[in-house]
Structure 1
Amino acid sequence: MSSSTPACARPPPRSATSRSSSSHSTWPGSISPGRASVSSTELLQAVEGLKEPRRLSHQVSALLAAEIVSGRIAVGQAFPSSEDIVARFGVSRTVARETAQALAMLGLVRVQHGKRTEVCPEDEWDILSSVVQEAMRREGKAEPLLRDLYEFRLLIEPQAAAWMAVYGSDEDAARLGELAATMERLTGKDVSVPDLMDADRSFHDLVAGASENRVLAAVSRDIREVISTLWGLSTLGTAGARHVAEQHRTIAEAVERRDPAAAMAAMRDHLTWAAKADLHGLGGPSEMRFAEGTASG
């Protein structure tokens, strides 16, 4: 199958979200200038809504990541020392060190031996990590991340669907149809969004894996995990769920017919609709950049 890669029409760069550059906040007495002091008990209670709080250092990392993402601890500002973290959260020095190391691994802070630990610029953050994702979600910054993710998915997943139609096995094509049927069964009167999203994830993982491109499959899997983290905000109703199921049925049927052009178009239409629906649900603008030849209306 021969195909050409369409050029992308890009509007002027969107301005980055402004971040506080103040370096006057104190630690551990307050979180930011003009903000009332928050007790360590209240901060630790805030982590209860996070997914998979595996260990204490993970919980503290999640709280401090939210402080960084929000700008309350600004880029270039000194990050709390181990002693500050111990005093603030009532944890051991070992947990405090693990917290700083974990945030450094995520690109949120830069640990410099003999010097103060500083907060890193946003372009160094590992936005595919669950800690950063949860922090962005909790701080109301999920919309730009979700928009970027959908723009990237629109670049790779339609092509993956086309490749599956050409190279995928008969068993994989049949399995895709079964997953579409599962999604249809889940769109009854009482829609189970978590179950529907599980089936959706399996559907897209299968498409990526059956594309016979290992890099695409690995990247797609990581992106799906990011979107799963953000799906906690979904308010998908019965009508929307049925539309999602119908779109997946269309993709599956195109793959089963071994029609790469139809599979590509169906996947593109689905992702375009899903992006606008999810971004609207977050209350943010649904502005998307589309490659030439894709529907943007």
Structure 2
Amino acid sequence: MNIVHINRFYRIVFVSLVTIYLVILAGGIVRSTGSGMGCPDWPKCFGTYAPPLEESQLPADYKEKYAVQGHPAVFNVYKTWTEYVNRLVGAIAGLIIVYQCIYATRFLKTTPKYFWYSLLLAVLMASQGLLGAKLVSSYLKPILITLHMGVALLIMGILIWLLVEAGKEKQRLHAADYAEEDLGRKYRWAMWVFISLTVIQIFLGTEVRETIDIISYALDYQYKETWIASAGSIFIIHRSYSILLTAATIYFTFILYKQRALYPKAYRLSTKIAAVIAIEIAAGITLAYFALPPWAQPIHLLFATVLLGVQLAFVFRFMVGQNRRSV
């Protein structure tokens, strides 16, 4: 395999992954600012590819013309442009993944998995675009928001796997004596349980957000300090679940700390997982006890997905080596 090609492919996948995280961050900002219907049509925004800057640029009957599910369109320049930038970031991410797929054709004879998984990513990105259109036309139906998030996590996971695989290939080409650090079956299953807990927690968080949306709408977006208390059992479950996740993180890091001489790289990555979850918990506490400040919501979502990403990288990097040994 050409080392120049694998180095370049690794960089392309890395850029793709960064843009996906930017899409997730942008989506979190859209959600926290209530900008989901900032553009009431798709793929255009108020009938144009570049949205207006002021209401006077819209037709007189725009509220009826762009009404969705019986809801009149509302123009707010900040929300409109927030949603528009979100769409632009998504489009850029899609184009980068298409380029990744095209570049991966050169591996069809040597490492075809790079091409086929890149092609799958391109299909998933196209599906995300169609799902985004359906989301707008449904007036942000909650189940579609959850599905939209699920597909984004799947895309992220595949990109991380490709990044780790390409990284291993780079190391093998650079060093003939390269050996993978494999932690064995016991830790492999423990981390997959850990990942499952994180995925459940992310979707519990999505349910909390949907509940808060219903409460805030019912209260006409007033009395913000009461929203969390009104969320009921779903918030309590989400909060309690975070304690379980934190305890699992501390335990896993401690176990690897005791074996850091044997598995130094794995231990270092486990400390990064602990650091990410600490930031995530801090953002969650801020949301719960400081009346949901908008800036904390996208940070909470972003670091939840970063946590999942680092966990997946851990599994792919240390637990799927060719020369597994029992622990």
TM-score by length of 1: 0.30
Q: Which has the higher contact order (CA 8 A, sep 6+)?
A: 2
TM-score by length of 2: 0.28
